[in-house]
Amino acid sequence: MVAGAPRASSSRPRRLRFWPGPARVLPTAALGLLLAVRLGGAQPVISSPPPDERLKADVLVIMAHPDDETLISGYLARAVLDDHKRVAVVYTTRGNGGQNLVGYEQAASLAEVRETEAREALLTIGIRSAWFLRAPDTPAPEIHDVLRSLGSWNHGNVLGEIVRFIRLTRPRVVVTFVPDVVVGENHEDHQAAGVIATEAFDLAGDPTRFPEQVATPEDRLFYGNLIEGLRPWQPQKLYFFTDAAHFDFVRGQGPEYPTTALSPSQHVSYARLSAKVASLHRTQGDVGPVGEKALATGDLGVFADPVRLVLGKSLVGGAATGDIFEGTVAGAIAFAPVRGYQPPPAPRPGIELGGPWAFYASFWPAHNLDQMPQLLAPELGVGGGQSFPVPLLLHNSSDQARTLTVRIQLPPGWTEAKGSGTYAVAAHDSAPVQARLIAPRVAQSEWQQVTWMAEADGRTAGSATLKVYVGGL
């Protein structure tokens, strides 16, 4: 080619030049907007979509295991079938640690079976929204210590999941297990569900907690978004239920819903609907067969007991014993922060019950559960002849190391395996003591009382008392 001569034309298409970096694809909405501008048309109005109404619930129930819903299914049936409320359920575990009366399936396979049982049971009372987290079903130890479950579950991970479900379902009311040690079955997983549900109630309305959940995704019409686009949501009322062996501490603390009344829509009692729910948990010996027998004989037994709730707190007023929706509003309310943990205003006594009892003593006031310390004194249920641990905490609020002597007062027939002794506690520090007792064998179940006392420099430095319900032969 002669220099300076015009370049010959070519039939090959010219390459388009793009900006450097990976290939870009215009999303549909952006492409439509670009065309509208190029063609001189009006720009489309871009609206922000509302939360998904399919997930909306009036009540969110947060429980630990498939079959826990049987404890309050008499009320849930009333709420859904006759009061036309929307109820959603979250189980923190899938029940992989339970028994199986039906087959050999255990562990992960049992979890699949129990999830199926729970979904079928919930459908009988009209509940279709149910989610199952994968926290492990914690094996029952000698005493039910909530801290064990919080540790085995990965507390923060499960908390984030529950906050997400509150923001997804936007309930007016949250119902969960009472966060306390109560005589009865009261599995530590039950307590952990109550603890995390309470924390989530207080965090879901705060946009700075789990902020990735409420951040706006870059492009909801495209793929690969990692932030979730939820809205903060503050529930209005928090209620607790319990599987306690006694209910005196519950009466007057919240509403009671009778289950012997007939359902107008189903033409059977709520107790019978509750028995049907239980009967579908066939793998679990203390649930499925009990429900099947009640349905077969017509003797509804425990299913005829009223559903008793404890009002944890209300941000919208209303009487403690009023209906759970009393005072609630359909829309959103403002975020209501709690006081959070505050250091004790006075030096702690030289001794207190440790483990779950010490945790709850700080947890309740931090979450504005001001009535909880008055519900019942620290208690525990054990079998006659059972050896069991009791955690204690020794405190030294002084500026110098102290020596504390621990002594115990036991009713007749009890044996102390360990606990009493002399312990050195550093200045402004606490020291754990793991006591162990052996309960007496008794003919009839009865309450007894155990007291530990701490002494320093010949003076009483404090005492800690535990009520123990000893099971009879």
Question: Within this chain, do residues 361 and 459 fall inside the same structural domain, yes or no?
Answer: yes
Task: Kindly state whether residues 173 and 246 are assigned to the same domain.
Answer: yes
- Compute the average pLDDT of residues 367-396: 95
Looking up tokens 């952006």, which residue turns up? 30
Domain boundary at 298, 314, 330, which? 314
Task: Look up the CATH number of the domain holding residue 187.
Answer: 3.40.50.10320
* Cβ atoms of 137 and 153 closer than 8 Å: no
The answer to whether residue 142 is domain-embedded is yes
- Identify the pLDDT of residue 30: 52
Average pLDDT value over all residues in the chain: 91
Please count the other Cβ atoms lying within 10 Å of the Cβ belonging to residue 332.
13
Sequential DSSP letters for 58-72: SEEEEESSTTGGGGT
For residue 380, list its beta bridge partners: 468
Query: Is there a single domain that holds both residue 154 and residue 299?
Result: yes
- Measured CA to CA, the distance from residue 174 to residue 200 in angstroms comes to 10
- Interior CA angle at 76 toward 75 and 78, to 5°? 65
User: Residue 165: which residues within 8 A CB-CB, separation 6 or more?
Assistant: 60, 88, 90, 131
Q: What's the pLDDT score for residue 450?
A: 98
Residues 299 and 379 in one domain: no
Q: Are both 154 and 284 inside the same structural domain?
A: yes
Beta bridge partners of 241: 177
Q: What confidence tens digit (pLDDT) does each residue in 309-353 have?
A: 999 999 999 999 999 999 999 999 999 999 999 998 888 899 999
Burial of residue 51, with CB atoms counted within 10 A of its CB: 0-12 exposed, 13-18 middle, 19 or more buried? middle
From 266, 290, 314, the end of a domain falls on 314
Distances (CA, A) of 31 to 24, 43, 46, 156, 217: 12, 12, 13, 41, 18
- The answer to the question of residue 326 being in a domain is no
Specify whether 189 is located in the same domain as 131: yes
The answer to the question of residue 20 being in a domain is no
What span, in angstroms and rounded, lies between the C-alpha atoms of 184 and 245?
A: 4
Confidence band for 47, pLDDT divided at 50, 70 and 90: confident
For residue 196, pLDDT over 90 is answered with yes
63 domain-assigned: yes
Q: Which of 94, 87, 154 is nearest to 118 (CA)?
A: 94
* Domain carrying residue 381: 351-471
Using 50, 70 and 90 to split pLDDT, how confident is the model at 65? very high
Residue-wise DSSP of 96-134: TTS--SS-S--HHHHHHHHHHHHHHHHHTTT--EEEEEE
Residues 105 and 203 in one domain: yes
Same domain membership, residue 309 and residue 356: no
Q: b or e along 52-88 (b: 16 or more beta carbons within 10 Å of the residue's beta carbon)? A: eeeeebbbbbbbbbbbbbbbbbbbbbbbbbbeebbbb
Statement to judge: residues 215 and 129 lie in one domain: yes
Residue 367 sits in a domain of what CATH number?
2.60.40.2310
Q: CB within 8 A of 440, min separation 6: which ones?
A: 384, 385, 411, 412, 413, 414, 470
Per DSSP bridges, beta strands 459-471 and 446-456 are: antiparallel
- Is 39 within a domain? no
pLDDT band at 139 (very low <50, low <70, confident <90, very high): confident
Q: Which pair of structure tokens corresponds to residue 401?
A: 């190391």
| Residue 42 in domain | no
And the tokens for 141?
């130890």
As a whole-number percent, the residues of the chain with pLDDT over 70 amount to: 90
- Nearest-CA neighbor of 193 among 161, 167, 171, 170? 161
Say if residue 386 is in the same domain as residue 445: yes
Structure tokens of 265?
């829509």
pLDDT of residue 473: 83
Using one digit for the tens of pLDDT, what is the confidence trace for 203-233?
999 999 999 999 999 888 899 999 999 999 9
Residue 292 lies in a domain: yes
- Provide the pLDDT for residue 40: 55
166 and 252, same domain (yes or no) = yes
| DSSP strands (E only) in 271-401 | 307-308, 310-314, 351-353, 379-383, 387-396
Total structural domains in the chain? 2
* pLDDT of the residue at 137: 95
**Are residue 104 and residue 199 in the same domain, yes or no?**
yes
Residue 96 neighbours by CB distance under 10 Å = 21
Residue 17 counted as domain residue: no
Nearest to 118 by CA among 330, 282, 339: 282
Domain limit, last residue, from 262, 285, 314: 314
> Residue 6: what pLDDT?
44
Cβ(271)–Cβ(263) under 8 Å? no
Compute the residue count for the chain.
473
For residue 122 the two structure tokens come to: 């919930």
